[in-house]
Structure 1
């Protein structure tokens, strides 16, 4: 985890590959069958699928960097694994998509695909960020829908 005094740029300037390099985490590109990336805590290595676009690679590295900072390890508990994956997606999306960048792009982008391209993220991670901004995970969010509209 970065120190409280260490500033990390977010949005379009966020460079997870540079951060991983600074942390001494090795990144290996190889053929992967059913995933785009994986973090090996024991080997201090991230393995990512070869053939990804630069945008896909940036998003995978941001996601895996969140596993590094959380010191996640493989676990047999599927619920814990799901929580780790959702947290890594959410935190990566928050760093990759700054609200200021999103507000600027939202003024002209006709759809989520155009916006994702301009923000240099995958459509899926942009959707994660948009869902987050709707209140996902905020402790004061009302559960069960509106009490006014039923």
Structure 2
């Protein structure tokens, strides 16, 4: 029901990747990036995000990159890299979208775009979480968030 907008969105956005990176002592640099929205550079201990991202896009990218940091990922090439990308998306989506928030907003949202906006996530993160909740996360592809 649209009357719950403030409540659901506030709860959904309790996970703050910016604050998490601050606690980890890892800076975020904004740069022009050719073919990705973000990247974790373990050698420099820095996360780089693309210029021009919306706050929602940046929040999702940072959540994804945090998962690479926590997993100790050092590259995204080959089949191992694809698996690492899927796991980073999945773990980030789980932190960004609580089941209760997803279910509450899904009751009244007119479609995926409105649901994603209400939950403060990108369409990709919403899709990732929805597939996860349906038990099919192992079939996810990769996203431009990869890095």
The TM-score bracket by the shorter chain reads 0.7 to 0.9
Contact kept, 8 Å, 2:63 with 2:92, in 1: the verdict is: yes
Whole-Å Cα distance in 1 between the matches of residues 21 and 108 of structure 2? 33
Note the C-alpha offset of 1:50.
0.8
Q: What do you get for the CA RMSD once the two structures are aligned?
A: 1.4
Aligned residues of 1:39 and 1:68 also touching (Cα < 8 A): yes
Residue 89 of structure 1: how far off its partner (Å):
0.3
Contact 2:13 2:120 in 1 (8 A): yes
Structure 2 CA distance for partners of 1:112 and 1:38, relative to 1, 3 Å? same
Aligned residue in 2 for 1:35: 36
Alpha-carbon displacement from aligned partner over 1:105-144 (angstroms, at most 9, x marks no partner): 0111010000000100001110000000011258xxxxxx
Partner of 2:49 in structure 1?
A: 48
TM-superposed deviation, 1:32: 0.4
Per mean C-alpha deviation after superposition, the further-off stretch among 98-107 and 60-69 is 98-107
TM-score of the superposition, structure 2-length normalised? Answer: 0.83
The 5 Å alignment of 1:1-150 reads 11-74=12-75, 76=77, 78-136=78-136
The structure showing larger relative contact order (alpha-carbon pairs under 8 Å, at least 6 residues apart) is 2
**Runs of 4+ with >2 A deviation:** none
The CA deviation at 1:75 is 5.6
| Deviation digits for residues 39-65 of structure 1 (CA, Å, limit 9, x no counterpart) | 011111000001100000000000000
Task: Please state whether the residue corresponding to 1:46 is helix, strand or coil.
Answer: strand
Give the number of the structure whose residues are more often helix, by fraction.
2
Give 1:13 shift.
Answer: 0.6
What secondary structure does 1:13 align onto? coil
> Do the aligned residues in 1 keep the contact of 2:90 with 2:137 (CA within 8 Å)?
no
Q: Give the TM-score normalised by structure 1.
A: 0.82
